[in-house]
Structure 1
Amino acid sequence: MNLPKTDTSLFKRLRFILVETSHPGNIGSAARAIKTMGFSELVLVNPRFADALQHPDAIALASGAQDVLDATRIVGTIEEALSGCEYVAAVSARLREFSPPVLSPRVFAEDVTQRQQSQIALIFGSERYGLPNEIVVNCHALINIPANPEYSSLNLAQAIQLLSYECRMAADNGSPAASNIGFQGQLAAIDEVDGMYRHLEQALVAIDFLDPDNPKKLMPRLKRMLSRAQLEVEEVNILRGIAKKILDTRKS
């Protein structure tokens, strides 16, 4: 259930999403990690075990965070997990050619404390193969944890603990954002942005700017460019209006 917009506390707005988690113990450890930092919303996307939340390892490693485990939701798609979220960040040790802007955990935490009307999601990938590119490219930010370049792999629960700690510190300190551009409107939800990209792609095909049989890397590049803008609802509507006008013109 989505939290009301009136609750501006980051502790109520930040959602932790685990994608295709392999080990139930890591789910229990994740629940414990976020509870110790004051967070509570955990969502699983297609965990490896159907009974992951009841698995003995999950229960044992939750160790006092059984309430978080009991409230954890399991969904079948990343779209379901992100429902209602306006700002989404992926956590990965691997940088991508077409990634969104790359942030450190501390910069991310300081930024999201200022988004007082936005639902925030942090996505963590499978222990075995991380996050697929198609999830990362649709995020607003890619969080890369500074680590030993010769051995940069963190355990899933360790990464969650680190991010939740940084978010708690930023929320407690009320850190100012890195930049202030004056008035800021409501950030567009992730499904609104995805719909805009599909609409824009249709328009680009209609004017022969994009060849659907040979798309190359046009859409990933556009997504990377626009993700840096952190699109607001009105801005998404403007882009959809442009796409609609293009399509209407081509029909006439």
Structure 2
Amino acid sequence: MMPKEITPPLFNRLRVILVETSRPGNIGSVARAMKTMGFSELVLVNPRVEGALQHEEAVAFASGAQDILASARIVTTMAEALDGINHAAAVSARLREFSPPVQTPREVAQHVALAASAATGQDFYPALLFGNERFGLPNEIVERCNVLINIPANPDYSSLNLAQAAQVLLYECRMAALGGTGIAAGSVGFHGDAASQAQIEGMYAHLEQALVAIGFLDADNPRKLMPRLKRLFARAGLETEEVNILRGIARQMMEKARKPGE
């Protein structure tokens, strides 16, 4: 039975806020980026197109993430968008003379992931703010945020599409929340019982006998073969069933090496 997946706190705490978005397709693309990275709370502030969440372009570009659109909220003020948020990060390619501290996506992601893991109750709820495709975020919104995120892109062409910028940020947040592995505990593949030291040592002894039997290992001059093999298998993190398979291989090697009549 696979262990139950544990969802890191950041996935249930991070809010994505789109401010005055012009293209419904970009809203749909951001919803798709959110779903692929495991986030779900989307808030729109005064989108330029009426009925943006139901617009055919938004639905088409969401491409399977229509549930994110269906649960999204539309608000008319930044106060509503930031209600309950206590760490706001503005995303902008344009640096400002007066702005909060500038950080990279990875720095922000690591901070919010750690803070969310350590938080209890209503202690920490972060948000990522993205501005209009053409004008970005106005200074008055940037100045009320805790940090300004600048994506370190090609200085000769640093402009990212809205959904591309969101994907970069959400990917970093996912990686940080999952401890850099990209895989939640117990989420992928079969996990068997870890082999005990006694089982592993028994396997090593059996394998050594088999290697001697087939002439690969000289028992009188073993050199460093077995220590190297032990180091190799130690990196694998052997499970009980895997040890049994290796012992089965060793058994067959010894059977094949046995001379007729022995």
CA contact (8 A) 1:90 1:122 kept: yes
1:74 aligns to what? 74
> Following TM superposition, by how much is the alpha carbon of 1:50 offset from its aligned partner in structure 2, in angstroms?
1.5
Q: What's the secondary structure of 2:114's corresponding residue?
A: coil
CA contact (8 A) 1:33 1:164 kept: yes
Matched, 1:163 2:169: yes
Alignment of 1:140-151 (within 5 A): 140-151=146-157
Matched, 1:153 2:159: yes
Alignment of 1:23-172 (within 5 A): 23-116=23-116, 117=119, 118-172=124-178
CA–CA distance in 1 between the matches of 2:39 and 2:98? 31
CA contact (8 A) 1:113 1:174 kept: no
Q: How many residues align?
A: 169
What per-residue deviation string (whole Å, max 9, x for no partner) do you get for residues 49-97 of structure 1? 1210111100000000010010010000111000000100100000001
Q: How big is the alpha-carbon RMSD for the aligned residues of Structure 1 and Structure 2?
A: 1.3
CA–CA distance in 2 between the matches of 1:48 and 1:135? 18
CA–CA distance in 1 between the matches of 2:171 and 2:87? 19
CA–CA distance in 2 between the matches of 1:98 and 1:170? 28
> Following TM superposition, by how much is the alpha carbon of 1:8 offset from its aligned partner in structure 2, in angstroms?
6.7
CA contact (8 A) 1:15 1:122 kept: yes
What per-residue deviation string (whole Å, max 9, x for no partner) do you get for residues 121-155 of structure 1? 11000001000000001110000000111110000
Q: Which AA in structure 2 matches 1:154? A: L
CA contact (8 A) 1:103 1:142 kept: yes
Percentage of pairs with the same residue: 67
Q: Which AA in structure 2 matches 1:102? A: V
Q: What's the secondary structure of 2:57's corresponding residue?
A: helix
CA contact (8 A) 1:17 1:81 kept: yes
What per-residue deviation string (whole Å, max 9, x for no partner) do you get for residues 191-249 of structure 1? xxxxxxxxxxxxxxxxxxxxxxxxxxxxxxxxxxxxxxxxxxxxxxxxxxxxxxxxxxx
Q: What's the secondary structure of 2:115's corresponding residue?
A: coil
CA–CA distance in 2 between the matches of 1:91 and 1:69? 21
TM-score of the two chains, using structure 2 as the length reference: 0.63
Rg comparison, structure with higher value:
2
Q: Which AA in structure 2 matches 1:134? A: E
List structure 1 segments (4+ residues) > 6 angstroms apart after TM superposition: none
1:204 aligns to what? none
CA–CA distance in 1 between the matches of 2:130 and 2:147? 13
CA–CA distance in 1 between the matches of 2:50 and 2:9? 32
CA contact (8 A) 1:113 1:170 kept: yes
CA contact (8 A) 2:8 2:178 kept: no
Q: Which AA in structure 2 matches 1:11? A: F
CA contact (8 A) 1:18 1:125 kept: yes
CA contact (8 A) 1:15 1:121 kept: yes
